[in-house]
Chains A and B, each alone.
Chain A
Amino acid sequence: MKAPPFAYRRVDSVAAAAALLREHGDEARLIAGGQTLLATLGMRLSEPSLLIDIRGIAEMQGIAVADGHLRIGALARHVDVERSALVARHLPLLSLAAPHIAHAAIRNRGTFGGSIAFADPAAEWPACTVAADGALTLSDGTRSRTVAAADFFLGLYQTALRPDELITAVQFPLPGPQRRFAFTELARRHGDYATVGLALAGDVTDGRLDDPRIVYFGVGGTPVRARAAEAALAAGRAEPAALDRAVAELGGELAPAGDLYAAAATKLHLAGVLLRRGIQSLMAEDAQS
């Protein structure tokens, strides 16, 4: 399983990367952490003639808080997010999710932006980014635009990214003091892609849940926001009856595909189990604080 031959260029600016993408079209691929790309090249799932190494681009690095936002540079590695004190303080959802992404050796190289660009429907970062209201900065080197995470994931491995654009950063609004997060997933082995996973956010005040965001992964072609389940829980105390209604709503909202290991009905059932767990941990956290 060796990769086919390709040329390799290292660039140090978004403009240079985008120019090469325009010049070489479909023949070229960006490589960030390479943790997905190199595996697919080895399996000969694609045969690009040029890899553009973007890891040295300074403007895409770093994790910072400014202007009411947490900014994660696209080239921040999974491990950088996992260890970031800023992330733990301002957006603990990401700290909870990070240890579930692959294994330590892969988290040391894979990047936040690479995961979002690749848009694997079972990946953690895309769902977390939707649940935490993230917005992506996309740039072709001359013009940049902002796309809400909820509008970015279009279908299985399909995104709003244009052929000559890069994700340069992801911006998250800083959550208010009542905002709580929960993250839970079921995988066959720790570090494997999730069978079903859930990223959850909500305002919790004196046992009351407002403005919940329920975002599933592994159950469709994109991260799936369960709006009817949210409605069943919104502005309530998440008591058992409301939770039962929310779980019942999932049947109309999620259409998971069965795979080798779990039938569609099993995944739907597990989605309900995760919702109960997630809501419980969200409300329990409020009791402690």
Chain B
Amino acid sequence: MTDRILVNITVNGMVYERWIEPRLHLGDFLREELGLKGTHLGCEHGVCGACTVVVDDEIVRSCLTLAVQADGAMVETIEGKSESGAIRDLQDAFLERNALQCGFCTAGLLLTADALLQAEPEADRARIREHISGNYCRCTGYHAVVDAIEAVGECRRAGARGAQP
């Protein structure tokens, strides 16, 4: 009745084929099946944002996505985003500005921030706060997080202006 299903999921550019139980959510798939422990699981009901990953270029809650629903999808996790250097500027800014302490929320916050800056490079502080409102951080008080994201937004905008077409 709860037979395993064969899925084919591309994670950080690598294709994985696995037989999995339908009830397995994407967060557990990444952590337990693939050993990618950078994606954290906090509440497992959609509230804390620690499990945020990118599926087909959009951030989602990996705890509210079944792995079987991600069959055929392209998933990116904090590991892939780090290794490719895509969010190096955000990671550096989080360190510099003390925007992470225990680090539990950090992977989710970085991916959430990156999604905002890609869609709205000009996002102001109010917009940044609104956008990260779905990510709990128990350590930083958010001010430093907003500082870091704002600083990277400014840098990316300056870079875009300076870049040659």
Quick one: which of A92-109 are within 8 Å of B by CB?
99, 102-106, 108-109
> Measured between C-beta atoms, what is the minimum distance from A170 to chain B in Å?
23
Give the residue name and chain of the A residue nearest to B131 (CB). Answer: A104
Judge whether A1 and B44 touch: CB under 8 Å. Answer: yes
Judge whether A34 is part of the interface by a CB distance below 8 angstroms: yes
Q: In chain A, what residue has the closest Cβ to B108?
A: A105
Total A-B residue contacts, Cβ distance less than 8 Å: 94
A5 at interface by CB-CB < 8 Å: yes
Chain A: interface residue total (CB-CB under 8 A): 32
Q: For B68, what are the chain A residues with a Cβ–Cβ distance below 8 Å?
A: 8, 53
Q: Tell yes or no: A35 within 8 A of B by CB.
A: yes
Residues on A with beta carbons closer than 8 Å to the beta carbon of B18? none
User: 30 A-B residue contacts at CB 8 Å?
Assistant: A1-B44, A2-B23, A2-B28, A4-B23, A5-B1, A6-B23, A7-B1, A8-B5, A34-B64, A35-B61, A38-B45, A38-B65, A38-B66, A39-B45, A51-B22, A53-B68, A53-B69, A102-B46, A103-B133, A103-B134, A104-B134, A105-B52, A105-B59, A105-B134, A106-B46, A106-B61, A108-B59, A108-B60, A109-B60, A109-B61
Once the chains are docked, how many angstroms separate the CA of A198 from the CA of B5? 44
B83, CB-defined interface residue at 8 Å: no
Interface residues of B in 76-128 (CB under 8 A from A): 112, 115-116
Bound-state CA distance A63–B44 (Å) is: 31
User: In this assembly, does B63 line the interface, its C-beta being within 8 Å of a C-beta of chain A?
Assistant: yes
Q: Are B61 and A105 in touch, CB under 8 angstroms?
A: yes
**In the assembled complex, which residues on chain A have CB atoms less than 8 Å from the CB atom of B63?**
38, 42
Asked whether B49 is an interface residue with its Cβ less than 8 Å from the other chain, the reply is yes
Any chain B CB within 8 A of the CB of A55? Answer: yes
Question: With an 8 A cutoff between CB atoms, is B147 at the interface?
Answer: no
Closest to B135 in A: A103
Are B65 and A109 neighbours in the complex by a CB distance under 8 Å? yes
Residues of chain A at the chain B interface (Cβ within 8 Å) = 1-8, 31, 34-35, 38-39, 41-43, 49, 51, 53, 55, 79, 99, 102-106, 108-109, 189-191
Min Cβ gap B12→A in Å is 18
How far apart sit A38 and B61, CA to CA, in the bound complex (Å)? 11
Instruction: Give the number of residues in B that approach A within 8 Å (Cβ atoms).
Output: 34
The answer to whether B58 has its CB under 8 Å from any CB of chain A is yes
How far does the alpha carbon of A1 sit from the alpha carbon of B21 in the complex, in Å? 16
Binding site for A on B (CB under 8 A): 1-3, 5, 21-23, 25, 28, 43-46, 49, 52, 58-61, 63-66, 68-69, 112, 115-116, 129-131, 133-135
With CB as the reference atom, state the residue of chain B lying closest to A38.
B64
The docked-state distance in angstroms from the alpha carbon of A221 to that of B127 is 32
Contacts of A103 in B (CB 8 A): 49, 133-135
Q: Chain B contacts of A109 at CB under 8 A?
A: 60-61, 64-65
Q: Which of B28, B46, B130, B133 contacts A39 (CB 8 A)?
A: B46
Beyond A2-B44, A55-B69, A105-B112, 12 extra complex contacts between A and B, CB < 8 Å: A3-B25, A4-B23, A7-B1, A34-B66, A35-B64, A38-B66, A42-B45, A102-B134, A105-B59, A108-B58, A190-B129, A191-B133
A8 vs B115: C-alpha distance in the bound complex, in angstroms? 30
Q: Which of B21, B115, B135 has most chain A Cβ within 10 Å? A: B21
B115 lies within 8 A of A104 (CB): yes
CB–CB B133/A190 < 8 A: yes
